[in-house]
Structure 1
Amino acid sequence: MSSGCAGGSPSLGNFAFFPYASCAGGDVNGCVFPKKARKIPYKPDSVKATPGYFGIQLQSGVAAEMTTAHHTSLFRFQFPSTSDNSPLLLLDLTDLSDSRQDNATIEVDETTGRMSGSSRFNPSFGTGTYVAYFCADFKGASIRDNGIFVNSRAGATVKDLKINRSINGYPLPGGGFIRFSENPADGILARIAVSYISSEQACSNAEAEIPDFDFEATHTAAESAWREKLSPITVSSEGVDSSFVTNFYSGIYRTMVSLQSSRDDVVDTDPIQVNPQNYTGENPLWQSDEPYFDSFYCLWDSFRSQLPFLTINDPNALTQMIRSLIDTYKNEGWLPDCRMSLCKGYTQGGSNADVVLTDGFIKGLTNGIDWDLGYQAVVKDAEVEPFFWSVEGRGGLDSWKSLGYVPTEDFDYKGFGTMTRSVSRTLEYAYNDFCIAQMASKLGKTDDVEKYTESSGNWENLFDRNQTSFFNNGTDTGFVGFFQGRYQNGTWHDQDPLWCSTIDNYSGKSCSLQNTGQETFESSLWEYGFYVPGDQAALIQLYGGPDGFVKRLDYLHDQNITYIGNEASISTLIFPSFLTVFQYHYAGRPALSAKRSHFYIPRYFSPQNDGLPGNDDSGAMGSFVAMSMMGLFPNPGQNVYLITPPYFPSISIKSPLTGNTATIRNVNFDPTYEAIYIQSATLDGEPYTKNWIDHSFFTEGKELVLTLGKNESSWGTKIEDLPPSLSEYAGGNGTANGTVTKTLGRREVTMGMLKERAGLGSVVMAGVGV
């Protein structure tokens, strides 16, 4: 099993091997078996990691190498010489987070040494349990003895074990061992495969994928598959520091490191995984001809840049993921917002599968996707409250429909979940509805366009124009007007806008899924103050126009209120910060987006041991780096990429769907990155002034040429050059271009409703920095 940590407990890492050079006195019980007792350090300088390979040496002198196929891993262990030269391998019925439940089993074949069995585990960030099966074989030396271990003792006369968890909150040690008669110089090979169906299927997977225990061939196949996956994107690196090239491709690699490679025939043996993982043929929950992907872990993390990146670089995989999401809805009744190891994961914010489906739909993905059923699924998210909305759908829908927001301490008797995050849920539900309106528009569902366009403006109902913000020492931030929780009677909650920000080192408040959590999820009111992806024009006016918006956005970054990293401090995983790096585009200041991008890269992201600011969260951080350095950052759920200069003289992207190659060229490229401001641009040879581009750039293979300079210019600053927004930009017309445009009259109705509900009076100039 692959392993990783994307929040919650460490994920997977099932059925671990542990190598011993020998057991004291030649007695099998001279080895230390319990997991906590046997641990020893590794040699830091020995670690080597490349795509499809990992190597490490322990202080005991044992060297371990690992490579992989689709369901199967192959290990090579080399042991130092000892007095009896009889190395031992242990297979532990455990996982990384020690979540094993009752009735784990192992069976050891005395003659062949094959070990097979299963265990029940908890998921990392969800509810329920799952059963994983394994099959392990060994090659390279003759067998001295084998058997099982339990607690701190082992026995070669017993070949079968069934073990429970224990009563002390920690699984009892147990598993199998195999000891060898000699210590070959070229090492001992251990092959282990997994399955969610049966041990027999795990054995079949192993025999099909790595039949000959050929470590070099398996490694080469994995490396070749990775090269193919990375091949659509090529850069010109002349004059560029090699660390920037490594950083860029490392970002792409991390974006895809947990995701199964996908082909049109679905069944796939490539040793590449991208998150989510392709478990087609390994789903015991229902029978289907559709692909099955797991570890949507979680969409709150991945919808922002990781899955949009796959729309460009691996659209076939994303197509299969969308089919899997829709098939999960068909068989379980809801689109998942988070899912791992066959279990339902916890919903963090809105129903963000709605954003994922919309993003794929408006960018033209087809190839077997039932978009009518997909639309039915997203509408159910908006209309029907599930009984347990902590794992699917949306809670508080009665209040959402009657009040236009999710109240703090809502009275909700139809469904149940952690009664927190009313601000972030309201803002995310609003954007989810915005996305549904995009789908409805393209499907010709006029009534739904009007309905969900209207509700997509509900974010405005939580804007408190009188909310102030002070630092802990009493210093005024100088800004007035923030989103704030509201009770059912319309009165305001009192969450400090800086609580749960990066600089909140004093409040002790929680903004996660605890029942004592605040009204924002893993971020502050300051941060969520910019989360209106569908209607930036209206938000800009709410903050006093472009100058006020830019001033506030600068303050967010310059005062370290936001942090581009993950799990940095005070329980913050601040993924809403991704888009704030580029939101200057909407205020007509694309040069400031480029400047901010270069502030974070490489300051916080570099190919060093400390080159990540926190947990990569299944490729979320990697995709932020990749798309930032590529110079086209998405606003997911919209056919929009915000243009900044790539970090290279040129970059080319070959569409896996059409075979066409899109190219971005920088004229006057400066490897010192002082000239990072676009002075002018052409698209296929014609002058181009818009500061954004749509997905046809990739599929049609267009050429974008950017002329750069050291100073901010007027390029991309006019109202007609700004990205689409639901409302009109002040002084000009809104841009439709693949999205629903809310007319001025529509806007006046919405604002009137807002004034009536909130008692705001005039809101156009509210929130101006003072």
Structure 2
Amino acid sequence: MASGAIPTSKTRFRKDSRAAFRPRRPGQPLWRSKWANRSILPRGRGRLALYLFVFVVVVLLVPVPGLGSLRQLLLGILLFPFSASSRSRPGREVLKYIDPLIGTANGGHVFPGASMPYGMAKPVADSDDRRENAAGYVQDVSLIRGFSQLHDSGTGGSPSLGNFPLFVHPGCPLDDITMCSFSARSRAVMRWPYSASAKPGYFSLRLKNSVAAEMTASEHASLYRFSFPDEDDSENGQDISVEYSPLILVDLQDQDNSRHNGGVHVDPKTGRITGDGDFRPSFGTGVYEAYFCADFQGAKIRRSGVFMGDNPHEDRQSIEKDPEGKFNVPSGSAGGWIQFEPPTNGHILARVGMSFMSREQACENAEREIPKLDFDKTVEKVQDAWADKMSVIEVNEADIDPALLVTFWSGLYRTMLSPQDYTGENQLWESKEPYFDSFYCIWDSFRAQHPLLSIIDPVAQTRMVRALIDIYRFLGKLPDCRMSFSKGFTQGGSNADVVIGDAYLKGISDGVDWATAYEAVVSDAEVEPKSWNTEGRGNLVSYHQLGYIPSDDIDHNGTGRNTRSISRTVEYAYDDFAIAQLAKGLGNEADYRKYMQRSTNWKNLWNPHQADSYIQGPEEVRWSKFKGFLQPRLLDGSFAHHDTRLCSPVHEMHKCYLDTRWATYEGSPWLYSFYVPQDMAALVETMGGKKAFVERLQYFHESGIVYMGNEQSFLPVFQFHYGGRPGLSSYWAHQYIPSLFNTTYGGIPGNDDCAMGAFSGLAMMGFFPVAGQDVYLLTAPFFSEVKVRARNGGWAVIRILNFDPTYHAKYIQHATLNGKPYTKSWIKHDFFVQGGVLEYVVGIGESTWGTKEEDFPPSWPWPPVVEDASKSL
């Protein structure tokens, strides 16, 4: 057979081949013909090309004197197409630093597939490793069950979404469709190790059943390109000849096997497959409906049908629920399939439109967004969208380890995967407001992701705030967690209050109904829902009357997990602080005073006598020097005991998850004792003053009690500012990046929640937000210069005048803002609105910069401290 020829249906796939796979660049077809002549050297022009290639490699790589100019000429010729491409598409060059595979192992649960920013369609290969596959794909050696259309990124818990997976067979043994595998369990196949390739808007993987898959996406549709290299194992591992006649199935199932009801229809003439199902959310209560519409191109249809389990039916083209209830589509794998003649150009394209409204809308979404099944142009469109999002930030790449650039840009990229924009797809109510879903969960994201978006994508952040308010408008409560049109479980406080308060302070207001927003946050503070497992706050009678949540409280007004009394108390207190700031801004002085008073409720759980103990050696109990911690308190006012290190990495870390019976959530009393962002001055004094506070916070980081895989550990990295030691904040930021935040597949310390990337991105740019306040804590950036597009169109520039690429000099010695000395260790949001230039000189040791009381970040004591006027006389 001539080189490049397409095999016929009689071509056999052999079991004895082990062809290696090398990842392709986005847009490059994965299939390559191997039916050509198999001599070691090509013939004719091919051999000449090989000799020329070897010559070029020698010239470029072998250190021969006198070839310097020739090397430069050859490099210029080779790189000219890429340089021209970069010039024609400004901003695209930054995409080379984004690696979506970071965090796809070791519990990161990052979605690495194709997606528009905040896009609904998210195709990727689904692994069958249930411990890790919350986002579908896992970078390990687990089997692949298919390529599904919807995913969340970075979640914990059960697998999320993963609806309507495609699966591709290169053919069936003996050309008998009954010998192909159809169910999710039986069809799972090995992948070529490390064959995954991912860039923004593109993902590819090669399977060991001779299928190579590439995928990209629009806002509501997936586009696949399936190719069929011929020398891999057959899909069932049996030494049986397989006819080259691709079969593609669409399963109605989701990742968590939660589907019930639904149906599928196959059009045998056009090959269009449509279907739907009802599904459960992965971290909440309720049911949602989803719909798909799949079209194919590239090969003639041989036959089609439906399947249930591992039983295909060629004589049947639909499975639908009987309106009279006499027949329901059975649970488990079921769907439609099409078998094709060998494709004329070596690959088959598959477009899958998605909707939460109807099959018809799924088809309309696909036809509108990807009218022509042009894979390369679709990749270009989504990559242009990502380049545009990233263009608001520029960093000086000179003298920087490329791995740090990858850590930085990949982190920022992940912050724009979720929440997902479902506007126009809201199946619950009609509204002209935006609708975002997959707030998964605000308990995680309010601390870093939403404040970051307020800077780099205020338009999207505004739309998210409007969506939160609209959820309240129709459901009566703001969500703390929400996914798939369902109420998610509440992990702590009502933290949408902080998101809304933060947005108000930072001018995120275009189209925001602040009257309804204020009504929503006050509802959280005052009105207990029937079930505070999924919204609002619980134990409000005691919280209002006693100023804390008693660990033995009996709640007659609602139901919920009567646990986490420490973590919920301090979170409610800070939520009240956020409400107070909004009340003040809206001119409600009485409410401002009320909620500021409640913001001091953390003090009611402070037990100054609680000591800190730990086990050393087999049974030896030791006591640290630190005394005074948040502790659970009973209705009668007495303190109960909660081990100060329980639920930390050094002591039974996994006891404080959602079903915990303890007083803290995903963290220890050590951790929560630092959570007083509203009045750090009071906390510092409570802990014994600045020196004692810094010593305690330093011990917290040095002793392994902190777990950076949970978002509540982010702010303590920078709280040294409140003790007059901003240099230590810089020190610890450099300790955690890159030791815990790096470019490996497990390169984040916990599940991402679209917040881990926000932490690394903010820390590397040299500022970290105190969410719910107009405060950014300043440290030296990881770059000699960072530029952030200001809202007025200019730039907010942070520059190190004597940048040290070894980072020995990472402590700010002095600073200027727009040419004038700047001694404060923090800055306001106005810097990112109006723009300006913040310049540093750094050194190898801490300095006096930011260490004076007047330069500390602000605290808001209540009642406010009033200076004695006589002192100024």
Give the TM-score, by structure 1 length.
0.89
- Cα distance, 1:487 vs structure 2: 1.1
Alignment match, 2:657: 512
1-structure distance, mates of 2:158, 2:708: 22
The Cα offsets for residues 273-302 of structure 1, whole Å up to 9 and x where unpaired, read as xx1111111012111111111111110010
Aligned residue among 312, 318, 335 for 1:154: 312
Identify the range of structure 1 (211-220 vs 2-11) with the bigger mean alpha-carbon deviation. Answer: 2-11
1-structure distance, mates of 2:737, 2:333: 45
The question of 1:560 aligning with 2:704 is answered: yes
2-structure distance, mates of 1:466, 1:184: 79
2-structure distance, mates of 1:496, 1:315: 42
2-structure distance, mates of 1:66, 1:641: 39
Aligned residue among 468, 484, 502 for 1:341: 484
2-structure distance, mates of 1:669, 1:472: 44
AA at the equivalent of 1:744? V
Matches within 5 A, 1:469-508: 469-473=612-616, 474-505=621-652
AA at the equivalent of 2:693? F
Matches within 5 A, 1:146-295: 146-162=304-320, 171-256=331-416, 258=417, 275-295=418-438
SS at match of 1:576: helix
The question of 1:15 aligning with 2:159 is answered: no
Aligned residue among 573, 584, 590 for 2:726: 590
SS at match of 2:394: strand
Is 1:499–1:509's contact at 8 Å kept on the other side of the alignment?
no
2-structure distance, mates of 1:706, 1:501: 36
Is 1:119–1:133's contact at 8 Å kept on the other side of the alignment?
yes
2-structure distance, mates of 1:684, 1:629: 21
Is 2:573–2:598's contact at 8 Å kept on the other side of the alignment?
yes
Alignment match, 2:815: 681
Matches within 5 A, 1:560-639: 560-565=704-709, 574-617=710-753, 619-639=754-774
Alignment match, 2:185: 36
The question of 1:743 aligning with 2:864 is answered: yes
SS at match of 1:3: coil
SS at match of 1:74: strand
The Cα offsets for residues 323-352 of structure 1, whole Å up to 9 and x where unpaired, read as 111111111111111111100111100000
Alignment match, 1:569: none
Alignment match, 1:382: 525
SS at match of 1:475: strand
- Cα distance, 1:366 vs structure 2: 1.6
Q: What's the RMSD between the two structures over aligned residues?
A: 1.6
The Cα offsets for residues 519-559 of structure 1, whole Å up to 9 and x where unpaired, read as 11111111111011111001000100111111111111101
Change (3 A) 1:549 1:151: same
SS at match of 2:814: strand
The question of 1:92 aligning with 2:251 is answered: yes
2-structure distance, mates of 1:233, 1:406: 43
AA at the equivalent of 1:602? P
Alignment match, 2:26: none
- Cα distance, 1:83 vs structure 2: 4.9
Matches within 5 A, 1:83-122: 83-100=242-259, 102-122=260-280
The question of 1:125 aligning with 2:273 is answered: no
AA at the equivalent of 1:153? N
Q: How many residues were matched structurally?
A: 699
Change (3 A) 1:77 1:509: closer
Alignment match, 1:303: 446
Identify the range of structure 1 (453-462 vs 281-290) with the bigger mean alpha-carbon deviation. Answer: 281-290
Aligned residue among 790, 802, 821 for 1:668: 802
Is 1:189–1:213's contact at 8 Å kept on the other side of the alignment?
yes
Is 1:564–1:577's contact at 8 Å kept on the other side of the alignment?
yes
1-structure distance, mates of 2:287, 2:203: 29
- Cα distance, 1:441 vs structure 2: 1.1
Change (3 A) 1:492 1:202: same
Identify the range of structure 1 (178-187 vs 330-339) with the bigger mean alpha-carbon deviation. Answer: 178-187
Is 1:33–1:149's contact at 8 Å kept on the other side of the alignment?
yes
The question of 1:708 aligning with 2:819 is answered: no
Is 1:433–1:453's contact at 8 Å kept on the other side of the alignment?
yes
The question of 1:144 aligning with 2:302 is answered: yes
Change (3 A) 1:163 1:524: farther
1-structure distance, mates of 2:394, 2:188: 43
The question of 1:3 aligning with 2:187 is answered: no
The Cα offsets for residues 303-338 of structure 1, whole Å up to 9 and x where unpaired, read as 000011100000000001111111111111111111
1-structure distance, mates of 2:699, 2:210: 53
Alignment match, 1:718: 852
2-structure distance, mates of 1:713, 1:336: 44
AA at the equivalent of 1:335? L
Is 2:785–2:797's contact at 8 Å kept on the other side of the alignment?
yes
AA at the equivalent of 1:599? Q
- Cα distance, 1:517 vs structure 2: 2.4
The Cα offsets for residues 480-514 of structure 1, whole Å up to 9 and x where unpaired, read as 11101111111212211111101114xx8621221
Is 2:173–2:242's contact at 8 Å kept on the other side of the alignment?
no
Alignment match, 1:537: 681
Matches within 5 A, 1:747-766: none
The question of 1:654 aligning with 2:789 is answered: yes
1-structure distance, mates of 2:664, 2:867: 29
Is 1:108–1:114's contact at 8 Å kept on the other side of the alignment?
yes
The question of 1:53 aligning with 2:212 is answered: no
1-structure distance, mates of 2:188, 2:760: 35
The Cα offsets for residues 679-738 of structure 1, whole Å up to 9 and x where unpaired, read as 0000011100000000010110111001101110000000100111012xxxxxxxxxxx
Alignment match, 1:63: 212
Alignment match, 2:779: 644
Identity %: 49
Change (3 A) 1:328 1:413: same
For structure 1, the residue ranges without an aligned partner over 5 or more in a row are 259-274, 566-573, 728-740, 748-770
2-structure distance, mates of 1:636, 1:283: 29
Aligned residue among 430, 452, 458 for 1:315: 458
For structure 2, the residue ranges without an aligned partner over 5 or more in a row are 1-148, 231-240, 869-873
2-structure distance, mates of 1:32, 1:409: 55
AA at the equivalent of 1:50? K
Is 1:382–1:433's contact at 8 Å kept on the other side of the alignment?
yes
Structure of higher CA gyration radius = 2
2-structure distance, mates of 1:701, 1:746: 34
Is 2:564–2:664's contact at 8 Å kept on the other side of the alignment?
yes
Is 1:163–1:174's contact at 8 Å kept on the other side of the alignment?
no
Is 2:670–2:700's contact at 8 Å kept on the other side of the alignment?
yes
Moved over 4 A (4+): none
The question of 1:695 aligning with 2:853 is answered: no
AA at the equivalent of 1:560? G
Is 2:298–2:345's contact at 8 Å kept on the other side of the alignment?
no
Change (3 A) 1:162 1:241: same
Is 1:127–1:345's contact at 8 Å kept on the other side of the alignment?
yes
SS at match of 1:428: helix
Identify the range of structure 1 (606-615 vs 104-113) with the bigger mean alpha-carbon deviation. Answer: 606-615
2-structure distance, mates of 1:219, 1:153: 36
Alignment match, 2:67: none
